[in-house]
Amino acid sequence: MEDAPHPDSILTDSYIDKVFETFLQRKSWPGTQDAAFSVHPKGGKRQGQKQVLLLAPDGRIVLGYHNEHNDQVWACSGRGRDGGFDPYRDSWALQDIVVGEIPGCIEYLETLLTEDGTCGHSPLISRNSDGNSGVPARLCFFSQWSDPDRGVNDDIYYLDTNNLCKDCYHKAVPRGFNVWVTTYFDEYNQSVDQNYRNYFRNCHMNNQQPKLYDPESQSFLRFYWPRCYSAKWREPAFDLKQHPRMPGATLTHECWRWLVWNRAPFYIDQLCINPPYRIYADPRRIREEEQRISRLNASAYIGATNGILGVPPGGRGAWSVVELRILGSRAVRLPPDFGDAAALLKLGPGYVSLALV
């Protein structure tokens, strides 16, 4: 019988890379499900439930259930049709159930694309934007089955907008798109954050639970973004070494949860700027690169429907101040039921496990 491998030999870089590859290969949201769930507000079990999508009056899509025995319909998150929490879950009706692909989500977008990945019309949106067009060069889309309470790590998808004509763009983005205003400067222990592989290795060696959240700084250890694939072709946006990590501040994580809840297409520079930001030593190249990033971001913030705030109203740092000025009245504060780190931690392994890779 072979000796068990030493723990330190298990948590090598190659092993951690293998864990990451498993993350990249995991199954995405399965879509419509028929199952029995114990989600009745009084704890009872409802049989014959069918997972459905519900359309709110303001255009939001909410994941819910339909009891086919008595035709009761409710949102699995407990949200009512107005977006607030409904403890009785009785404000939804059969006519709120959506059938088919939902505009604004990847499922509908892909019905607009032909075999070559474009909409097949002419003229297509120009690739050469001056920064004032209001149409980002790239947008990300959620699946219509993503759920902010259980599916914040579901796969996301991107499309370069020069594959669409103006008419198809407006069909694909019927409610517009969202951006966020947040800081990328985290307060989490930097010695841990920058050497997270060693940190998890040491926790494993000492049989300790990794500290994923620091209450003093109200920051998480930076987790990996969900997997991101191209529309139509399902090609990964990032390779193993380039997959970005989201900022750690609690408000930033709750902004992300709000974006999933809102379900509209979105622009986040970490995910949408292509090629990613490049670091140069030459001052001229640095200036050119900053101008490129500014143009790409400007189109997004000029054209966005909403910008969810993950910074104080006055901004934090030069970039967030500029973004707030561009957005003006389109800047949106998080609703009262968002912004709680405890709520994020309660999401469990499906949310926090990405830090382990």
Q: Dump pLDDT digits (tens) for 189-240.
A: 677 777 777 777 787 788 877 777 777 777 777 777 888 999 999 999 988 7
Which amino acid, residue 59?
A: G
Q: Hey, what amino acid is at 85?
A: F
Question: Domain extents for the chain?
Answer: 49-98, 138-356
In a 13 Å sphere around the CA of 101, the CA atoms on its Cβ side amount to 13
Say which amino acid occupies 266: F
The 3-state DSSP composition of the chain as helix, strand, coil percent (nearest 5) reads 30, 15, 50
- Please name the helix (run of DSSP H) or strand (run of DSSP E) that holds residue 348, with its range, or none: none
Which pLDDT does position 188 carry in this prediction? 65
pLDDT in tens, 101-143: 989 999 999 999 999 999 999 999 987 656 678 999 999 999 9
Q: How far apart are CA 192 and CA 279, in angstroms?
A: 23
As a whole-number percent, the residues of the chain with pLDDT over 70 amount to 73
Distance CA 136, CA 254 (A): 23
* Sheet arrangement for strand 331-332: 178-181, 306-309, 331-332
DSSP for 66-123, please give it.
EETTTTEEEETT-B-TTSSB-TT--S--GGGEE-S--TTSHHHHHHH--TTSS-S-SS
For the residues 287-300, what does the mean pLDDT come to? 90
pTM exceeds 0.85 for this model: no
Q: Write down the pLDDT at residue 192.
A: 73
